[in-house]
Amino acid sequence: MPVTLDDKLVVAISSRALFNLEEENRLFDAGDPAGYMRLQLERLEVPAQPGIAYSLVRKLLRFNADGVQRVEVVILSRNDPVSGMRIFNSGAAAELAIERGVFTQGRPPFRYLTPLRADLFLSANADDVREALAAGFAAAHVSVESALAGNQHPDEVRIAFDGDAVLFSDEAERVYQQQGLAAFQAHEVDKAAVPLEAGPLAPFLVALHRLQQAASTGMRIRTALVTARGAPAHRRAIQTLMSWNIRVDEAMFLAGLDKGGFLREFEPDFFFDDQTGHVRSAARHVPAGHVASGISNLPPAALTPR
């Protein structure tokens, strides 16, 4: 039978999201790609240090520990193939079971998400993430300034999600930004029983739920909804998840409070949010990524009334 990625949770990840390659990347950003390649080749046998999404990937791969391949991690990178050797070497040194990679030597790699049937794309390149989101894939721009995940929960993958424009559509967020808090609250009370449309990360949450139900390795998934919503707007968020037959383990309705301290206590392996301010706050404590989706990420010209 042909090899297939069907029925697997597929995570596509860039080299810089998985490993700390910031020193090398400074050469590339300075306009010296040849110097970048040369440095990577010089360090071919020097394992790169863990990057921001390393903990998430390591734990997800442990769902394969009983010999059943439930999770597939693929390197999807703008690196050149020679530099790609170091990435594979670093993965092998860390005992990460990663055997697939696509290296495009500077070209946008997001188009390969389609044949990979990726459930999630994590990259340190913001343009690649925007293209992936526009193509309908769950994706986040990894903040390379984030704190690394701790080791407090070795048998538990912890993932936190913002709600509007991340798990849910930006319908309610548009009302808030265009008409204010009072109109937002009234809108959500009026539509409390009407489920929100799915946002860009909803398919990934569904895939995680499916993985948890299928796993028998002792690994667990713990999810949290961390939202600026407060009562009475909380009800529609909960009703929406119930309509999807999905539950989260924790829900934090913060009514505008800063999310950083709450995420520090939850200790996720990764946090997803559509607003850069929330991502910066979270990144001081936990691995975080920006989901460039919804009204908060439209250019100013797109918000100007015509």
Residue at token pair 């986040």: 140
Reduced to 3 states, what is the DSSP secondary structure of residue 74?
A: strand
Q: Which of 119, 128, 162, 273 is catalytic?
A: 162
Mean pLDDT of 243-255: 96
Q: Is the pLDDT of residue 9 over 50?
A: yes
User: What band does 120 get if pLDDT is binned at 50, 70 and 90?
Assistant: very high
Angle at 94 between CA 126 and CA 144, to 5 degrees: 25
Least Cα distance to 122 among 206, 196, 18, 217 occurs for: 18
* CA atoms of 222 and 159, how far apart (whole Å): 6
For domain 9-142, the CATH class is alpha beta
pLDDT digits (tens, 9 = 90+) for 201-217: 999 999 999 999 887 77
Q: Is the pLDDT of residue 222 over 90?
A: yes
Non-local (6+) Cβ contacts of 47 within 8 A are 89, 90, 93, 94
Strands 220-227 and 120-123: unpaired
Helix axes 22-29, 33-42, angle to 10 degrees: 150
Least Cα distance to 47 among 96, 14, 81, 94 occurs for: 94
Give residue limits of the domains in the chain: 9-142, 156-303
Mean pLDDT of 106-111: 90
Homologous superfamily of 156-303: HAD superfamily/HAD-like (3.40.50.1000)
User: According to the model, what pLDDT value does residue 302 have?
Assistant: 55
* CA atoms of 214 and 38, how far apart (whole Å): 44
Q: Is the pLDDT of residue 305 over 60?
A: no
Catalytic residue at 80? no
Mean pLDDT of the chain: 93
Stretch among 23-37, 93-107, 257-271 having the lowest mean pLDDT: 23-37
**What's the predicted TM-score (pTM) here?**
0.94
B/e letters for 279-290, b = 16+ CB within 10 Å, e = fewer, are bbbbbebbbbbb
Mean pLDDT of 240-264: 96
Mean pLDDT of 235-264: 96
Q: Is the pLDDT of residue 41 over 90?
A: no
* CA atoms of 35 and 20, how far apart (whole Å): 17
User: According to the model, what pLDDT value does residue 295 have?
Assistant: 95
Non-local (6+) Cβ contacts of 121 within 8 A are 11, 12, 13, 76, 110, 113, 128, 129, 132, 137, 138, 139, 140
Beta-bridge partners for 270: 159
Q: CA distances (Å), 16 to each of 26, 58, 83, in order?
A: 12, 15, 12
User: What band does 88 get if pLDDT is binned at 50, 70 and 90?
Assistant: very high
| CB of 209 closer than 8 Å to CB of 242 | no
Secondary element (H or E) of residue 128: helix 126-134
Q: Is the pLDDT of residue 304 over 70?
A: no
Q: Is the pLDDT of residue 31 over 80?
A: no
User: According to the model, what pLDDT value does residue 191 have?
Assistant: 94
Length of the chain: 306
Equal fold, 9-142 vs 156-303: yes
pLDDT digits (tens, 9 = 90+) for 137-186: 999 999 999 999 998 899 999 999 999 999 999 999 999 999 999 999 99
Let me know if 278 is exposed, middle or buried by CB neighbors in 10 A (0-12, 13-18, 19+).
Answer: buried
User: According to the model, what pLDDT value does residue 300 have?
Assistant: 65
Least Cα distance to 156 among 63, 64, 83, 48 occurs for: 63
Q: Is the pLDDT of residue 22 over 50?
A: yes
* Phi, psi for residue 288 in degrees, rounded to 5: -145, 155
